[in-house]
Structure 1
Amino acid sequence: MIRSDVAKRKRKTAYINATFFTMDKENRVFENGMMIVQDQFITYIGSHSKEQLVDVDQVVDLAGKWVMPGLVNTHSHIVMTILRGIGDDMLLKPWLEKKIWPMETQFTTEIASVSAKLGILEMLKSGTTTFSDMFNPNGIDSDDVIHAVGETGIRGAFSYTIFSFGTEEEQKMNLREAEQFSRNYKTFADGRLTTMVAPHSAYTCTPDALTASAGIAKDNNLMVHIHVSETNDEIMDIESRYGFRPVEHLCRLGLFDQPTVMAHGVVLNDEERAMLKQYDVRVAHNPISNLKLGSGIADIVRLLNSGIKVGIATDGVSSNNNFDMFEETRTASLLQKGVYKDPTKFPAQTALALATRGGAEAIGMGKSTGSLEAAKKADFITIYPYDKEHLHPLREAYSHLLYAARGSDVADVYIDGKMVVKDRSCLTIDEEKVMSEMNRLQEKLLK
């Protein structure tokens, strides 16, 4: 059978009649722009061009929508979504020890899978296409859970958390299982999912466990994901135990020899920032979670001025309490302006870059996603602004994306060029079923 030329090559789709916010290094904006996607990749982004349409197979009229890269959430805990609203208004240490960890010991694989799906459903519908997550494997079949995550169509890193709890043998088993998980899922779900080596923190992992984690990361060429310098109490605790503050403690143990994402970085001094820059340690900034837990406000302006890669993150919804990256990014910007008493700090272009391109670079995915550029994956979202009063006047669209937009404004979501959300309905997750199951399982868990 002779195949046609169209069948031989990959199908090309052109998206037209939209304003494209590329979020690339030049922050280009194309009104009445056009983007062409072929085989999951962007092949053209720019002004409308009849010449580019010559060999296109399908033209999608976006009817004046705004188009931007999918948002990148650099630190989350989707398996904890079932704990939303549990343990509000508590400090971090008692919140973990008296509420979160005891409840996580009761998790089943069903709870973990449904909780993860609900978290991803919320992420997708609010415009997040890529995430980096740490999950507690206690009591669950982690293979089943990552397969459930893979079915949703999202991109990201889903990482098995390492703890130094229990007997010495249990600690060794935790490390062995974490390494096996890392190897098994380094490339998963058609390359959309990977994993990182994720020791929880310096206060929950022994020096031996942290050194072993560094070894696993090096042997498997993986990034590290860890909570660091979240509170003043953590700083004093680690300093009293080991004689060094957390950043230097981790550096001495070799953890930073592999590219590392540290969540929080609220309490840092100049020497530590210099060390983070030297070892190319990236920071996942979680402003709302840090505020809610009373941890403080990270100095993101100083981190950026030091040349450190920074991404925006929500943390888990048990301490946030949602996955709305638009709200998170706006909060990040406003906090820096308020702390510095300077409205020029953390402007819209900077903030939106950290929620997209900067976040992707922070978690090691900057070559494939985070901006609308030729040769990058077609991960993008659309917003239909015309029936949303808070997005008018339309002329100031770039400003509105930071200071006015909400996750609920997102209309469509594409990952790898495939539509996963259409007109605010998720195509990869049974929304009604997941929400019903989540309520049933939380009732069962609380009993």
Structure 2
Amino acid sequence: MKRIIKNATIFTQNENRDMIEKGYLITQDENIIEIGPMDQYKEIPMDAEIIEGDNYLITPGFINAHTHVTMTLLRGYADDLPLWTWLSEKMWPQEDKLTNEDAYWGSLLSIIEMIKSGTTTFNDMYMFMDKTAQAVKESGIRACLSRGLQGPDDKSLKRLEENKLLYRQWHNEAQGRIKIMAGPHAVYTCEPSYWEELLNMVQEFNMGIHTHLSETRMEVENCQKAYGKSPVQHMLDMGVFQHPVVAAHGVHLTDVDIEILKNNPVSIVYNPGSNLKLGSGLAPIPKLLDKGVNIALGTDGAASNNNLDLLEEIRLAALLHKGFMEDSTVITAQQALDMATIGGSKALSWKEIGSLEVGKRADLTMLSMKESTFYPKFNLMSHLVYSSHSSQVENVMVNGNWILRNKELTMIDEEKVIFHIEKIKNKFQ
């Protein structure tokens, strides 16, 4: 089916970062087939859905490059604690109570929140990932999924087999909306012998890797004590960076670490909200950008953020270093939007998304510009990054299909999801 959006303002996020002030965009099936200014638009047969885009800003769908969606079930359960206390004493014991069914409803809860704030793709690492895949398939969103891996222990080989099965059953499924990666949690939960085993799996299936890297000062100090090197240098020496790596956080990096990242296929996922809330620190994003390291943007899980609103992360990404470095020119609005779009597509090795161009997948977000936050219209990029909020997201499309239309979810029964979430909550009392 063809869909035509007319008279909209379009941030293409193409190589030239072209903005079309009064433009049109045509989709057919899952792809964008035309895009341009209205003076180039030619009427086509009326077998298409016509959407009047006046007073709408269209961006590529946002890419949340680091999440743990089932952990939304524990949102607000344990706040204002140090990371290791939060993880080992609060999260892990409660996670032992979770079931496959819980993960399905928790995934849908997160997907609802992400869709409503303009996210069209997310990159997730956790357990019960077959249920998250099912939720992705039913909801219409796009996702990279990884089975979280730790070891060696009595369940480490089982986790590897689950990651392999996940790949066999779900890679490129749901009209190509699902990709599978490997999910080694971190250097402090995976010993070198286990890294060797999981890298054999990565090689066999030609997978990318989604992991945590140098999130806290303690992680780096413990790695230095155990191996005599930083987590980045440790991963390099183990051969991890011979494969594409999506590395969440990257907060505590030395100049040597950054040089290693620069020279290897590693993308850092900046998680400003989670890093602030857990007191992890501030990632050296300006240094990484100066060196040409690809930066994506993520929310982390809603148990540590405590939301999945990528628009909020875009704003934080553009503001934090300005204050910290006392320099209002670092990390521009454009760079922050890049992290949430083309930076995410590069991190996930998903070249068909991240920008609005002919031949790309029709993944887009439409924000209303009728609200006062978009006036006066001096600089729409500035307004998007510094002034807008997720309540202005009205329409979201993935693969050419509306998954949010006029602020209404088209493929998820939100009331039913909330009903099940309230039932699950009782087991954590």
Which TM-score band applies after superposition, normalised by the shorter structure?
A: over 0.9
Q: Distance in 2 between matches of 1:339 and 1:218?
A: 41
Q: 1:422 to 1:51 in 2, by over 3 A?
A: closer
Matched, 1:208 2:190: no
Amino acid in the other structure paired with 2:13: M
Matched, 1:111 2:96: no
Which of residues 301, 304, 309 is equivalent to 2:286? 301
Shift of 1:49: 4.2
Which structure 2 segments of 5+ residues have no match? none
Matched, 1:148 2:135: yes
Deviation digits for residues 291-328 of structure 1 (CA, Å, limit 9, x no counterpart): 11010000111111111111010000000000111111
Which structure 1 segments of 5+ residues have no match? 1-10
Shift of 1:53: 2.7
Matched, 1:356 2:338: no
Q: Distance in 1 between matches of 2:44 and 2:163?
A: 50
| Mapped contact 1:41–1:417 kept (Cα < 8 A) | yes
Amino acid in the other structure paired with 1:105: D
| Mapped contact 1:30–1:47 kept (Cα < 8 A) | yes
Amino acid in the other structure paired with 1:371: S
Amino acid in the other structure paired with 2:399: D
Amino acid in the other structure paired with 2:98: F
Q: State the match for 2:93 in structure 1.
A: 102
TM-score w.r.t. length of structure 1? 0.93
Matched, 1:320 2:311: no
Amino acid in the other structure paired with 1:160: R
Matched, 1:397 2:380: yes
Q: Distance in 2 between matches of 1:416 and 1:146?
A: 16
Structure 1 window deviating more from structure 2 (42-51 vs 208-217): it is 42-51
Q: State the match for 2:223 in structure 1.
A: 238
TM-score w.r.t. length of structure 2? 0.97
Give the count of matched residue pairs.
Answer: 428
DSSP-derived class of the 1:247 partner: helix
Shift of 1:43: 1.4
Q: Percent identity?
A: 38
Q: Distance in 1 between matches of 2:41 and 2:8?
A: 18
Q: Distance in 2 between matches of 1:374 and 1:177?
A: 37
Deviation digits for residues 48-105 of structure 1 (CA, Å, limit 9, x no counterpart): 1465334563232223311111101000000111000011001111111001111001
Deviation digits for residues 380-428 of structure 1 (CA, Å, limit 9, x no counterpart): 0111121x22222234322110001111210000001110101111111
| Mapped contact 2:322–2:331 kept (Cα < 8 A) | yes
Which of residues 118, 127, 140 is equivalent to 2:118? 127
Q: State the match for 2:352 in structure 1.
A: 368
Shift of 1:262: 0.4
Q: Distance in 2 between matches of 1:306 and 1:53?
A: 46
| Mapped contact 1:198–1:213 kept (Cα < 8 A) | no
Deviation digits for residues 86-137 of structure 1 (CA, Å, limit 9, x no counterpart): 1100111111100111100100111111000000000001000011010134
DSSP-derived class of the 1:394 partner: coil
DSSP-derived class of the 1:13 partner: strand
Matched, 1:75 2:66: yes
Deviation digits for residues 219-263 of structure 1 (CA, Å, limit 9, x no counterpart): 111100000100110011111112221111111111111100000
Query: In the TM superposition, what are the counterparts of 1:245-394 in structure 2 within 5 Å?
Result: 245-365=230-350, 367-386=351-370, 388-394=371-377
Structure 1 window deviating more from structure 2 (114-123 vs 233-242): it is 233-242
DSSP-derived class of the 2:220 partner: helix
Amino acid in the other structure paired with 1:421: L
